[in-house]
Chain A
Amino acid sequence: NAGVMQNPRHLVRRRGQEARLRCSPMKGHSHVYWYRQLPEEGLKFMVYLQKENIIDESGMPKERFSAEFPKEGPSILRIQQVVRGDSAAYFCASSPGQGEETEAFFGQGTRLTVV
């Protein structure tokens, strides 16, 4: 009965490298959300995906950031050519996407540090 699994928990990248963040949703959940959190701030929505579809990416920076949720395997948030400003905690959440509630369950996050 695993919850939302994110890996790695901590990721250090040098400027210009690529960062790949993985998220395995809870069993039976077909909706995945990615959020970014800067120190002392709340959660900022980035992207909302269903299996093989991006539903809403209005919170994603236009360049260098991409996300996918393939038919098989985890959801991936990819950041190309990272810069210091990308340093943050990235959280993934999943929800069943059905029924009255839209409650989402979160992973423990990936803390990205760009040096």
Chain B
Amino acid sequence: TQLLEQSPQFLSIQEGENLTVYCNSSSVFSSLQWYRQEPGEGPVLLVTVVTGGEVKKLKRLTFQFGDARKDSSLHITAAQPGDTGLYLCAGGTRSNDYKLSFGAGTTVTVRA
């Protein structure tokens, strides 16, 4: 079983502040995805990272994949209320028939 641990579990910040969410594992992943889920909806894919050390930017969101491909972080700059949601990381390995393993998620609340 590949365990993905996300931290913190809950995060509440004021609009305009920055935040970072972490996703850690003792396992190596071929790729790692970040999703955002809003209440009553399914998770929506934000980004996929596949190369150790890779950094991807999506507007105010910056995603980083660790050099050893065991961990990842999501940084949001100048958070807005629209960033509120449950952020999930998921890792997959080709050696495991492409099965995805999910973290428990970080609930982010951005107050106006």
Count A interface residues, CB 8 Å: 28
Indicate whether A104 sits within 8 Å of B33 (C-beta atoms), given known contacts A42-B88, A42-B104. yes
Contacts of A108 in B (CB 8 A): 41-42
Partner of A103, one of B33, B86, B94: B33
Nearest residue (CB) in A for B99 is A48
User: B48 touching A103 by the CB < 8 A rule?
Assistant: yes
Nearest residue (CB) in B for A109 is B42
Partner-B contacts on A (CB < 8 A): 4, 6, 31, 33, 35, 40-45, 48, 55-56, 91, 93, 95, 97, 100-109
Cβ of B73 within 8 Å of any chain A Cβ, yes or no, is: no
User: A102 touching B41 by the CB < 8 A rule?
Assistant: no
User: A102 touching B42 by the CB < 8 A rule?
Assistant: no
Indicate whether A104 sits within 8 Å of B41 (C-beta atoms), given known contacts A42-B88, A42-B105, A43-B88. no
Contacts of A40 in B (CB 8 A): 107
Contacts of B92 in A (CB 8 A): 101-103
Partner of A41, one of B50, B93, B101, B104: B104
Indicate whether A42 sits within 8 Å of B103 (C-beta atoms), given known contacts A100-B50, A104-B90. yes
Contacts of B107 in A (CB 8 A): 40
Which of B83-112 touch A at CB < 8 Å?
86, 88, 90, 92-94, 97-105, 107
Q: Which of B42, B92, B93, B99 has the most CB of A within 10 A?
A: B42
